[in-house]
């Protein structure tokens, strides 16, 4: 049993980090890699299990990381984030097993909302191996590359269908393990490599780096986070658009202040918007 101050499973899987977990009754169910993960909230906290690997849920939720210490580090770096840190106890940065699922999931996010993103990602997942009722192991790059663009458009992917198809075919031409290999290179190198893929801009590349490649210094800026950054660090840019130069400057400032906890800090600011909206929203 995990106390709530160490884990809020529902917040973790509904905070724009992953898109294939659903609340069924009192239970959350989803897939990470080749594992089905289930979580139930009780009076004492959260009970979580995974199958077939009984430790998979701990890897996804980074249970080896001391959340209270991470939050103390963030608060020491920026006391003005204390309110967010206290408001969302148990919110953790996820460490997804499949980098390719993270990439294709975030290719569904431009100009979209959480509910629709989740539906699209589940449509893609259904091309993979069935693991249980309505649960699928995410298909490999080769399988996605073989999906006709028109077929994805017929499923409601819109213009994103073209990007997904192009990226899959590009990855299929690269050496095996190329994407996972970006976990081992410096963050800046990973960003540059991802940005070479069709339709992958700085924000999407940061999402993939943070959630799929485990570069915890990555900071994906959406409109809300940009407003928070201008309020905190760039008041002269308040009300101004997020240009490429400003995006780089804001990310550098977060990394300078928070170091390897920059990605954790942004997740609390991002989740604040989701909580304030009452229903999940997403404007990647």
- Dist. CA 243–CA 114, nearest whole Å: 24
- The three-class DSSP label of residue 41 is strand
Which position among 129, 166, 203, 240 bears the catalytic label? Answer: 203
Q: Which of 202, 184, 193, 121 is nearest to 157 (CA)?
A: 121
Is 80 in contact with 66 (CB distance < 8 Å)? Answer: no
Q: Which of 174, 190, 172, 191 is nearest to 182 (CA)?
A: 190
Cα–Cα separations (whole angstroms), residue 67 to 38, 44, 55, 264: 21, 18, 18, 10
- Dist. CA 179–CA 27, nearest whole Å: 33
Is 129 an active-site residue? no
Q: Count other C-beta atoms under 10 Å from residue 273's C-beta.
A: 20
Q: In what order do the strands lie in the sheet with 27-32?
A: 22-24, 27-32, 35-42, 45-51
User: What residues act catalytically?
Assistant: 203
């Amino acid at each position: 049993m995990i106390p709530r101050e160490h884990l809020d499973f529902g917040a973790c899987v509904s905070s724009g980090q992953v898109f294939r977990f659903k609340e069924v009754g009192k239970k959350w169910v989803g897939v990470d890699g080749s594992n089905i993960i289930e979580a139930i909230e009780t009076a004492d906290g959260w009970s979580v299990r995974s199958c077939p690997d009984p430790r998979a849920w701990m890897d996804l939720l980074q249970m080896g990381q001391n959340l209270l210490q991470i939050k103390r580090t963030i608060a020491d770096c920026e006391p003005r984030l204390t309110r967010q840190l206290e408001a969302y106890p148990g919110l953790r940065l996820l460490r997804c097993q499949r980098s390719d699922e993270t990439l294709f999931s975030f290719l569904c996010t431009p100009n979209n909302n959480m509910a629709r993103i989740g539906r699209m990602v589940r449509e893609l997942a259904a091309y993979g191996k069935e693991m249980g009722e309505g649960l699928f192991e995410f298909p490999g790059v080769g399988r996605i590359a073989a999906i006709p663009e028109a077929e994805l458009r017929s499923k409601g992917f819109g213009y994103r269908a073209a990007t997904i198809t192009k990226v899959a075919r590009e990855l299929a031409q690269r050496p095996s393990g190329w994407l996972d290999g970006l976990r081992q290179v410096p963050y800046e190198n990973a960003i540059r490599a991802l940005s070479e893929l069709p339709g992958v801009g700085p924000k999407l590349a940061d999402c993939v780096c943070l959630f799929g490649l485990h570069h915890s210094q990555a900071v994906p800026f959406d409109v809300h986070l940009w407003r928070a950054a201008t309020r905190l660090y760039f008041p002269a840019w308040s009300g101004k658009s997020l240009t490429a130069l400003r995006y780089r400057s804001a990310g550098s400032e977060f990394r300078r202040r928070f170091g390897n906890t920059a990605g954790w800090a942004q997740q609390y600011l991002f989740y604040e918007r989701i909580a304030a909206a009452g229903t999940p929203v997403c404007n990647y």
